[in-house]
Amino acid sequence: MSRIGKLPIQLPAGVEVSVSAENVVTVKGKLGTLEQKVDPAITVKVEGTDLILERSSEAIDTRARHGLYRSLLNNMVIGVTEGYHVVQELVGVGYKAEAKGQILEMSLGYSHNFFFQLPEEIKVETVTERGKNPLIKMSCIDKQLIGQIAAKIRSLRKPEPYKGKGIKFQGEVLRRKAGKTAGK
């Protein structure tokens, strides 16, 4: 049995889970509502304050999906109770970020600015302090969506290994290279 799949998901107070006939799981919490379609080979049951996933067969693909859907549903429960937060740091001279509603305007050292349209589910805030790198703070209840958007923003200017310039996650440790040496 899957080590991850067999673990029950603890449902905190205030979280409601419903499973429809088409195997669509809906998780409702104080921050919002999320839905996920589950493979028909996996059955989802609510027993008291636990959410339990069981698989119907021992086929390889079914065993693989057992842990996957347990992780997805656990992320949904965490998302509707606490939410997910991502903080990105712009490292470089003249790098700026400004949020105007759902549009994120970034100056990343190119000849033009980037205008990034964010989905309505994501709340964004930019922080610019004198003497510190600009920060982009995002929050959302959907872990998959916020991770995908953060990766897309990071891909606009990945951190380079020599000076460390670019967009990086706060707390991320970059592998640095030494560069050229002057003489032998």
Under the banding of pLDDT at 50, 70 and 90, the label for residue 114 is: very high
What is the CB-side half-sphere exposure of residue 57 using CA atoms within 13 A? Answer: 7
User: Which residue is it, tokens 């990105």?
Assistant: 88
Side chain identity at residue 113, one-letter code? N
Query: Is residue 137 a contact partner of residue 150, using CB atoms and an 8 Å limit?
Result: no
Percent of the chain with pLDDT over 90: 77
pLDDT in tens, 67-87: 999 999 999 999 999 999 999
Under the banding of pLDDT at 50, 70 and 90, the label for residue 154 is: very high
Q: At what angle do helices 60-81 and 143-155 cross, to 10 degrees?
A: 90
The architecture that CATH gives domain 84-169 is Alpha-Beta Complex (3.90)
Give the C-alpha separation, 174 to 73, whole Å: 32
Residue ranges covered by each domain of the chain? 9-81, 84-169
Arithmetic mean of pLDDT, 89-99: 93
Side chain identity at residue 139, one-letter code? S
Classify domain 9-81 at the CATH superfamily level. Answer: Ribosomal protein L6 (3.90.930.12)
Under the banding of pLDDT at 50, 70 and 90, the label for residue 178 is: confident
